[in-house]
Structure 1
Amino acid sequence: MAHPHDSTALELPLPARRHQTLGLVILRRMAGHGLHDARATMLALDAGGTDFRKLLVLARALIVDLARTSQRRILLAPCCAAGMTRDEGLLMALVSGAGLDVHGVLTDDSSCPVAMTTAHALGEELERIATRNRWRR
């Protein structure tokens, strides 16, 4: 079912913070190339060091939760795109701690906030990695 917001245009700039861009690229890789994508794993290993598994598990869980609960197609750009789709902007807002309103717009299902909890946990892990690696702009 097509919605008025089903646009593949890169309407938004990439996230300004390095750890948010890392999270977006990992999510894009896993959504486009499978949950066990080697490049996503290498990105997580490079950024997370010995704790890379937690980042991977949370990213995989978020992809699965969104696939299971979303009532609509969520449009993602290729991993190397220089901007974000509207859906990716919503996804990154959710990872950054947004509430049920953003979850509802992203999935067309605000009554089932399963993915919201996973998104918040992923955001906290990305923040922890940014602090550990001293990624501040």
Structure 2
Amino acid sequence: MTTAPNSSSAPTSPSRYSASLPNPMPDDPNRRLLLFAFRRMGAHGLKDAHAASALFQAFGQDFRRPLLLMRTMMADLAHNATCPITIAPCCCMRMTASEATILTIVDRAETAPDSARLLLGDLIGLRRPDGVLASITAVASAFADAGRPLTP
């Protein structure tokens, strides 16, 4: 252990938060939008006005489908998860492992559904997460159809 100079021998160590937020925020603005809505709805409920407003600003008059499917995905995750899914505050510039896993599942939902199914099953502790995976795939399709693909 090292000590900070000019301190009263207080040990310095990495922040306890750095271990809980191991992943950087995605660079893609569409993935950031998904993550923002995920965090807001996860922390403040499905009818969060900030999440709805962000989706309205991003999608314009076509915001209803992504918003409805995002709410459906969040409800499915909450209803089916047998273990906690950790989320960071909306202003945080890093992601939890659960958030990074959700984005990986979104990436693989259409191109590698077997891999996405295994990841989702591990995340929510469910052997057959097909209904939740369908919700996640629908969100990814809604973003792509509205011109905001969730590409890594």
Shared fold (TM-score, shorter chain, > 0.5): yes
| Root mean square deviation, CA, Å | 2.2
Paired residue for 1:106, among 111, 123, 135?
123
What CA distance in whole angstroms lies between the structure 2 residues aligned with 1:8 and 1:124? 33
Instruction: Find the counterpart in structure 2 of residue 78 from structure 1.
Output: 89
1:33 aligns with 2:44: yes
Contact 2:30–2:148 (CA under 8 A) maintained in structure 1: no
SS at match of 1:31: helix
The one-character-per-residue Cα deviations of 1:77-132 (angstroms, maximum 9, x if unpaired) are 01111010000011111222342111111111131321111111111222333459
Paired residue for 2:136, among 110, 119, 127?
119
Q: Which amino acid aligns with 1:49?
A: G
Determine which structure has more spread, i.e. the larger CA radius of gyration: 2
Contact 1:71–1:108 (CA under 8 A) maintained in structure 2: yes
Q: C-alpha displacement at 1:35, in angstroms?
A: 0.8
Instruction: Find the counterpart in structure 1 of residue 56 from structure 2.
Output: 45
Contact 2:81–2:126 (CA under 8 A) maintained in structure 1: yes
What CA distance in whole angstroms lies between the structure 2 residues aligned with 1:131 and 1:119? 15
Q: Which amino acid aligns with 2:108?
A: G
Q: Which amino acid aligns with 2:21?
A: L
- Stretches of structure 1 that go unaligned for 5 or more consecutive residues are 1-6
Contact 1:20–1:126 (CA under 8 A) maintained in structure 2: no
SS at match of 1:36: coil
What CA distance in whole angstroms lies between the structure 2 residues aligned with 1:74 and 1:90? 10
The one-character-per-residue Cα deviations of 1:39-90 (angstroms, maximum 9, x if unpaired) are 1111010111111011111111011101111110100101111010000011
Q: C-alpha displacement at 1:31, in angstroms?
A: 0.9
Paired residues, what number?
128
Structure number with greater CO (CA < 8 Å, separation at least 6) is: 1
What CA distance in whole angstroms lies between the structure 2 residues aligned with 1:14 and 1:28? 13
What CA distance in whole angstroms lies between the structure 2 residues aligned with 1:82 and 1:12? 9
- Stretches of structure 2 that go unaligned for 5 or more consecutive residues are 1-17, 110-115
Question: Structure 1's 39 and 59: CA in aligned 2 closer, same or farther, altered over 3 A?
Answer: same
